[in-house]
Amino acid sequence: PAAGEVLLDVQAVRKTFGGLVAVNDISFQTRAGQIVGLIGPNGAGKSTTFNLVTGVLRASGGAVNFRGQRIDGLPSRRIARLGMSRTFQHVKLVPEMTVLENAALGAHLRGRKGPLAAMLRTDRTQERELLREAERQLQRVGLGELMHEQAGNLAMGQQRLLEIARALAADPALLLLDEPAAGLRHKEKQALAEVLRGLRAEGMGILLVEHDMSLVMDVCDHIVVMEFGTHLMEGTPAEVQRSEKVRAAYLGT
């Protein structure tokens, strides 16, 4: 995508669970080459928003556009093929598979071809191609040396980076990360921040849900703040840090 191109355009998206309004008419945009943070206290609706955008959940109202195409209502695999990859709040690796094999799982989503092409892709050459692609992505996040390790043996920070590599292997224009710094040590967070900056420099769009405020303030270009399912405010990290509303939401005053 061209630098600055609008990737994700979320328009008044809503999700109710029974009587609970988990996401209440949320609107925001993300652009290529930009890291957008989505923050807010626990239960604010951040993960639900991710699930609405990626097609894991169906919205109760509103619209989601991705690169100019309406995507709400599409199955998540279709959305992924359009160039949107995500990681989950809880690590979803296959611990008994190698690092390389885990990363290769993401490469199966590459390309815009339909299920027939995917079915025909099971021959040896294609498989080697997937592994080569997976290896490239592991190098991108600094895990190249560990590719033959069992994924379950990695430190938490490395597992998070592996999830990112797997998401990258699908060749996304937009990467959605749900709390990638959870459980990481300071050094691991720094490595993560470095990887995110590198991806941004290459023109990737990133939507980041994260509790670690120093990481958010450090890497984000723009921040959307949610509270109780609603859009509380948005702005630059400096604007968000200055906001009385945001302070009150976090301190509960």
List of residues contacting ligand ADP (CB under 6 A): 17, 20, 22, 40, 42-48
Min. distance of Cβ 112 from ligand ADP in angstroms?
Answer: 30
CA distance 65 to 9: 5
CB of 30 to ligand ADP, least distance (A): 17
226 in Cβ contact with 203 (< 8 Å): no
Sequence-ordered list of residues with C-beta below 8 angstroms from that of 219, at least 6 positions apart, any chain? 35, 37, 193, 196, 197, 200, 208
Q: Which is nearer to ligand ADP, 46 or 160 (CB)?
A: 46
Q: How many CB atoms lie within 10 A of CB 12?
A: 14
Cβ nearer to Mg ion, comparing 46 with 86: 46
205-219 exposure pattern, b = at least 16 Cβ within 10 A, e = fewer: bbbbbbebeebbbeb
Q: CB of 214: closest distance to ligand ADP in angstroms?
A: 19
Q: How far is the CB of 46 from Mg ion (least distance, A)?
A: 5
> In this structure, are residues 143 and 162 in contact, taking their beta carbons and an 8 Å threshold?
yes
In the complex with ligand ADP, the residue whose CB is nearer, 143 or 226, is 226
Residue 122 binding partner per list Mg ion, ligand ADP, none, with a CB distance cut-off of 5 to 8 Å that depends on partner kind = none
Q: Minimum distance between the CB of residue 197 and ligand ADP, rounded to whole angstroms?
A: 24
22 binds, among ligand ADP, Mg ion, none (CB under 5 to 8 A by kind): ligand ADP
Closer residue to ligand ADP in complex, CB, 121/211: 211
DSSP letter assigned to residue 91: -
Among Mg ion, ligand ADP, none, partner that 42 touches (CB below 5 to 8 angstroms by kind): ligand ADP
User: H helices within the chain, ranges in order?
Assistant: 46-53, 76-81, 99-107, 115-120, 124-140, 156-168, 186-201, 213-219, 237-242, 244-251
Q: Please report how close the Cβ of residue 66 comes to ligand ADP at its closest, in angstroms.
A: 20
Using the minimum distance from each CB to Mg ion, give the nearer residue, 46 or 200: 46
Question: What angle do the packed helices 156-168 and 99-107 form, to 10 degrees?
Answer: 30
Nearer to Mg ion, 46 or 231 (CB): 46
45's contact among Mg ion, ligand ADP, none, with CB below 5 to 8 A by partner kind, is ligand ADP
Q: Which two tokens stand for residue 86?
A: 């995500």
Question: What is the rounded CA–CA span in Å between residue 138 and residue 147?
Answer: 7
Q: 17 is in the binding site of which of Mg ion, ligand ADP, none (Cβ under 5 to 8 A by kind)?
A: ligand ADP
Partner from ligand ADP, Mg ion, none binding residue 142, C-beta < 5-8 Å depending on class? none
